[in-house]
Amino acid sequence: MTDQKINNVNVQEQPKTPCPPAQDIHHQLKEPLVRMTKRGVVTTRQKVIVYVAGFILALVVGALMLLAIGKNPFFAYRDMVVGSFGTAIASAETIRIAVPLLIASVAVGFAFKMKFWNIGAEGQILAGAIFSSYIVIHSINNNNYIGRLPLHLIMVILAMVGGALFGFLPAYFKTKWETNETLFTLMLNYVAIHYVAYLQSLRSWQHPDSTYPKIVDFATFTNGKVALPRLFGVHIGWIFAIIIAVIAYFYLTKTKHGYEISVVGDSLNTARYAGMNTRWIQIRTLLISGALCGFAGYLQVAGANHTLTATTAGGVGFTAITVAWLAKLNPFVMIPIAIFIAMLQKGSLFIQSTMRIPAAAADLLTGLILFFMLGSEFFIEYKLVFRSKHHAPHIEQKEVSA
Amino acid sequence: MLDTKPITVDNVVEMRHICKSFGTVQALSDVHFALRRGEILSLLGENGSGKTTLMNILSGIYFPDAGEIYVNGNHVTIRQPKDAFDLKIGMVHQHFKLVDVFSAAENIVLGLPGGRTINRRALARHVREIADQYGFEIDPDKKVYDMSVSEKQTVEIIKTLYRGADILILDEPTAVLTPQETDKLFDIMRAMKKDNKSIILITHKLNEVLAVSDRVTVLRKGEYIDTVLTKDATIQSLTDMMVGRSVSLEIDCPEPQNIEPILKVQSLTVLNQDGAKALDDVTFGVNGGEILGIAGISGSGQRELCEAIAGLYPVTGGSILYRNVVDGHEVDENVVGLNPNDIVKKGIALAFVPEDRLGMGLVPSLNMVDNIMLKHYRKKKGFFVDRKTSRQIAERLVEELQIVTPDVFTPIRKLSGGNVQKVLVGREIDTHPRLLMVAYPVRGLDINSSYTIYNLLNEQKEKGVAVIFIGEDLDVLMEISDRLLVLSGGRVTGIVDPRCTSKQDIGLLMLGQSIDNEKGADAV
């Protein structure tokens, strides 16, 4: 039935060739060489294949760069693994790097899930470190009168208050006056860093016999009270980090709060429609996000460094953004990814001494991997269709314009 | 087969064996299409039948997976909109593509090659010439943000004519127009036809097809069905082709029973973001057991009205009174100034289906279970959510409303428009409301899904629920409503009985004019 009716439109004239052969090759217009089309259902297996391929490609490109500076990439990769997990000491050091990274990743993951672009983890970690250092200095300057356990409790509380404050400010202003949280959190990083520089210049924070702008070593001056105990060679912060990741997973997936975060993140209007207090949800989530970062700051002071410097956060707050996205904001997945990134960082320090490859190689590789992983997203959504020779139609422009 | 048939010069456009898929969705499969010189051809089909996709291929927005296109007998490849312009094909999209802060004339020349300066006087003259030739009314210097929808449409059409288009594609041009404006547009289309232009009218409104076109091509679910002469077609024959089987066109409209007032809106005034009155002194009431239809040109205050009643829009003046039962006594509670959660806490059973389903009302990336939880997750005590209950509701709704989804854990943005709407309406009805507000509930839905929605609304009405139905299709509104409120520019221009009011009169009310009394009396 379909063809007959339409045919009566065309019967009048003598048949022409349905596909006029193109004579003037210069004027051919072809189907585009490559075009994108959307994939339908994507199986988990396909996704895994794309991600693995992306990861391998990142390593290959990294290898090419190593080759370009005249280094053997196989030795370099091997040494990175050996340097990060070859010995017990190396492994402990790697995990030590991973601890604040994991906590900060979980923290920014909370905010990102709500589409609140908190890139101020660096500042929030430092805020936690600064706040907890205050009580340590106070105790030192008053004959160490605070006992070990109370000291740590107060440090934790202060650290979390400090981090939460740094999370609260951008959330308050965003929900009140729609300020841009990205700029706000970024700027707060510098506030924290320069505040540390100020503290370093204070006489009461320095070594009594020195005028060098450096804050005292807390472990020595508190008779070891500040130093966190170790388990398997690493300060016990790693246990907290794993507990935090696990709790965060359940918080996000099983609780009302986590549900509200998902709704607010996906559609603010729907959240309002459902009667959610969107303002409080955003502030609450940033308080938690900041407090977690503050806790990481406490671990850096009490566990890793035993002092406060402008590099106490050491870029962890920024690397955490990468970890959170690579893990697709899933706190469980953040555990292996944080360890992997820590491994790259530790390993590159190792190859710096053994192979004289700049330690920046770690950042380069991290960047490459992130780049290829994000690129993989594209190939999961779309596939490329190349021009096929079978039905490539063509046109003669001259005829058209005639 | 069609392939062996001649390409005639009478056919300015011919498309053959067109296939196009998006992911797993086959939008077009082996579709044929032919347009003659100097005719108005209706491209008819339900939403999702592939009409717009086919025309987007012709205008260079999509590239087909397979198939051939001939323009004036020549085999052509259209890779981008510019190729279509060069072939003198112009398309007026359903959603206008105009720059708000530019004038009509500036929008018309936007993107055209030319020197550094625009000769405004010559341009305005040229625009006026085109307007006079076909009977448009246009002020070339008027800014787009000052224009009504129909004026914007005029700019879009003149834009294509200015570029020398001989083949015009109009995508659902009447969706936003009043009956009077529609008639005017049809006159213009006839004038263009006289000038030997070929026009494709994409539509799903049958009376328009019959009124203006010479031939009709029908698509159904991405397949070519037939092309017939309009004079040989009837509403019933076209519907059968469109839907694939005979459908009864009657919407059930049971008489209201057990009427009791549920909602009273008094002198409601709200301001929009610019401080202008979006609603001006609006007063009406809704009773349980009836459907109150709300008609009006889009943007007449419908959205603000719904959102104000739902506690989502700040109210400047007036009151919104719900009849509520507290301790066995009936009281009218003013909900102005309350947010949606406060309203729920007062025990008021209000359900609301907003017009932008995925932007408000649903969370696109969450699954059906989580979306159903939205309305009652607070009810359970404690810190954790209860997915079990909403999963049961979700599974029941899938069965009752025949929602097509792989499972209840698929993100709802992956579902089709009709199924998304069933999830939303199903969830709202499941809350056992006393007042149900639905805004454009069948927009983008196929006929079968639309009737599912109409039936659900009538069921609610029979249960004694007060239903507010905001719609755009006047025919449907007049059939389903017990009373019809007409909004124009934020004011109520009339509350009429749709059974004894003509469509023309409602059109006048939509334009802000009052029906003259004698005529109204005659109608009664």
Task: Report the gap between the CA of B226 and the closest CA in chain A (Å).
Answer: 5
pLDDT at A158: 95
Q: What's the pLDDT score for residue A30?
A: 58
Among A1, A9, A255, the strongest candidate for a mutation testing the B interface, having the largest count of B CBs within 10 A, is: A9
Angle between helices A121-141 and A278-299 (to 10 degrees): 50
Q: Is the pLDDT of residue A9 over 50?
A: no
Interface with A, mutate which of B76, B89, B273 (most A CBs under 10 A) = B76
Confidence at A98, pLDDT banded by 50, 70, 90: very high
**Quick one: what percent of chain B has pLDDT higher than 70?**
92
* Chain B residues lying within 8 Å of A10, measured CB to CB: 5-8, 11, 34
- How many independent structural domains does chain A possess? 1
Selecting from A10, A39, A399 the residue whose C-beta is nearest the C-beta of B8 gives A10
Mutation target vs B (from A28, A46, A263, A394; most B CBs, 10 A cutoff): A263
The stretch B491-500 carries a mean pLDDT of: 87
Does the pLDDT at position A11 exceed 70? no
In a domain, A12, yes or no: no
Tell me if A42 is assigned to some domain. no
Closest among A165, A124, A168 to A280, alpha carbons compared: A168
Contact flag B8-A257 (C-beta cutoff 8 Å): no
**Average per-residue pLDDT in chain B?**
83
Q: Which residue of A has its CA nearest to B374?
A: A274
pLDDT at A95: 92
What average pLDDT does range B438-460 have in this prediction?
A: 83
Question: What CA–CA distance (Å, rounded) separates A123 from B63?
Answer: 49
Q: What is the pLDDT of residue B200?
A: 93
Does the pLDDT of residue B338 top 80, yes or no? Answer: yes
CA distances from B304 to A138, B147, B176, B271 (A): 58, 20, 18, 9
Q: pLDDT confidence of A373, banded at 50, 70, 90?
A: confident
- Tokens, residue B509: 């009310």
| Residue B50 pLDDT greater than 90, yes or no | no
Residue A15: pLDDT band with limits 50, 70, 90: very low
Residue A259 CA to residue B374 CA, distance in Å, equals 9
CB B386 within 8 A of CB B372: no
Query: If pLDDT is split at 50, 70 and 90, which confidence band does A14 have?
Result: very low
The pLDDT of residue A388 is 63
- Chain A residue with CA closest to B381: the answer is A256
Split at pLDDT 50, 70, 90, the class of A297 is very high
Cα separation, B219 vs A114, in Å, equals 42
pLDDT, residue A368, reads 87
Tokens of B95: 């959603």
Residue A339 pLDDT = 93
Give me the mean pLDDT over the B211-231 stretch: 89
- Judge: domain B260-523, CATH 3.40.50.300: yes
Q: What is the pLDDT of residue B23?
A: 67
Residue B233: pLDDT over 80 = yes
Would you say residue A77 lies in a domain? no
Instruction: Judge whether A157 lies within some domain.
Output: yes
* Structural contact between residues B384 and B371, judged by C-beta atoms closer than 8 angstroms: no
Stretch A252-274: mean pLDDT, rounded?
A: 91
Instruction: Specify the long-range contacts of residues A141-147, CB closer than 8 Å, at least 24 apart.
Output: A141/A204, A144/A221, A144/A222, A144/A223, A144/A225, A146/A225, A147/A225
At residue B519 the predicted structure's pLDDT band, cuts being 50, 70 and 90, is very low
Distance (Å) from the C-alpha of residue A254 to the closest C-alpha of chain B? 6
Contact B32, A2 (CB under 8 A): yes
Question: Domain extents for chain B?
Answer: 2-243, 260-523
B443 has a pLDDT exceeding 80: no
The mean-pLDDT minimum among A310-324, B265-279, B501-515 falls in B501-515
The string of pLDDT tens digits covering residues B266-287 is 999 998 877 788 898 999 999 8
Q: Cβ–Cβ of A18/B71 closer than 8 Å?
A: no
How far is residue B314 from each of residues A390, B113, B306, B309, measured CA to CA in Å?
Answer: 61, 47, 12, 10
Instruction: Tokens for A46, please give them.
Output: 């396909």
Which CATH number does the domain B2-243 belong to among 3.30.70.100, 1.10.240.10, 3.40.50.2300, 3.40.50.300?
A: 3.40.50.300
Q: What are phi and psi of B394, to 5 degrees?
A: -60, -45
Where does the pLDDT of residue B141 fall: very low under 50, low under 70, confident under 90, or very high at 90 and above? confident
| Contact residues, A window 233-292, toward B, CB-based 8 Å cutoff | 254-259, 262-263, 266-267, 269-270, 272-277
To the nearest whole number, what is the mean pLDDT of chain A? 82
State the pLDDT confidence band at A61, using cuts at 50, 70 and 90: very high
CA distance A361 to A347: 10
Q: Which range has the worst mean pLDDT, A79-93, A259-273, A358-372?
A: A358-372
Nearest to B34 among A9, A19, A399 (CB): A9
Contacts of B69 in chain A (CB under 8 A): 393
A185 or B417, greater pLDDT: A185
B75 vs A32, A40, A393: nearest CB: A393
- Tell me, yes or no, whether A91 lies in a domain: no
Q: Looking at residues B109-125, what average pLDDT do you find?
A: 78
pLDDT at B47: 65
Q: Which helix (H) or strand (E) holds B22?
A: strand B11-22
Reported as a single tens digit per residue, the pLDDT across B173-219 is: 887 777 788 888 899 899 888 888 999 998 877 788 888 899 999 98
Residue A107 pLDDT level (bands cut at 50, 70, 90) = very high
Q: Is the pLDDT of residue B469 over 90?
A: yes
- Top-confidence residue, A236 or A1: A236
Give the pLDDT score at B453.
87
Q: Which of B8, B25, B53, B369 has the highest number of chain A CBs within 10 A, making it the mutation to test binding with A?
A: B8
pLDDT of residue A5: 40
Res B1: pLDDT? 41
For residue A186, give the H/E element and its range.
helix A181-200
B254: confidence class by pLDDT, cuts 50, 70, 90: low
The per-residue pLDDT for A31 is 63
Looking at residue A395, its pLDDT comes to: 38
**Window from A72-76, A123-127, B31-35 with minimum mean pLDDT:** A72-76
Using CB atoms, pick whichever of B3, B86, B340 lies closest to residue A18: B3
Residues ≥6 apart with Cβ < 8 Å to A184: A120, A169, A170, A173, A174
- Which of the pair, B150 or A318, is modelled with greater confidence? A318
The mean-pLDDT minimum among A15-24, B9-18, B288-297 falls in: A15-24
Give the highest mean pLDDT range of A358-367, B18-27, B79-88.
B79-88
What are the pLDDT digits (tens) for B17-35?
A: 999 887 666 788 889 999 9
Contacts of B25 in chain A (CB under 8 A): 40
* Segment B64-69 mean pLDDT: 88
Q: Which residues of A touch B373 (CB under 8 A)?
A: 259
Residue A63: both structure tokens together: 């290898």
For residue A160, being part of any structural domain is answered with yes
Q: What is the pLDDT of residues A335-357, one digit of tens each?
A: 999 999 898 888 888 888 888 88
Q: What is the mean pLDDT of residues A248-271?
A: 92
Q: How far is B243 from chain A (nearest CA, A)?
A: 16
pLDDT at A73 over 90: no
Residue A123 pLDDT grade (very low, low, confident, very high; cuts 50, 70, 90): very high
In this structure, is residue A388 part of a structural domain?
Answer: no
Could you tell me the CA-to-CA distances from A189 to A103, A186, A294, A314, A331 in Å, in that order?
A: 17, 5, 13, 12, 24
Mean pLDDT to the nearest integer, B165-179: 84
Asked if B227 lies within 8 A of A277 by C-beta distance, the reply is no
Greater confidence (B253 vs B312) lies with B312
Residue B113 has pLDDT above 80, yes or no: no
pLDDT in tens, A153-180: 999 999 999 999 999 999 999 999 989 9
Reported ipTM: 0.75
Query: Pick the residue with more confidence: B446 or B306?
Result: B306
Determine the average pLDDT of the residues in B393-415.
85
Cβ of A20 within 8 Å of Cβ of B74? The answer is: yes
Q: Which residues contact B157 (CB under 8 A, 6 or more apart)?
A: B92, B136, B168, B170, B188
* Count of positions (residues) in chain A: 402
Does the structure show a pLDDT above 80 at B40? yes
Please, where are the H alpha helices in B87-234?
104-109, 120-134, 149-162, 179-194, 206-212
Instruction: Kindly state whether A387 is in contact with chain B, defined as any CB-CB distance less than 8 angstroms.
Output: no
Whether A41 is covered by a domain: the verdict is no
pLDDT at A335: 94
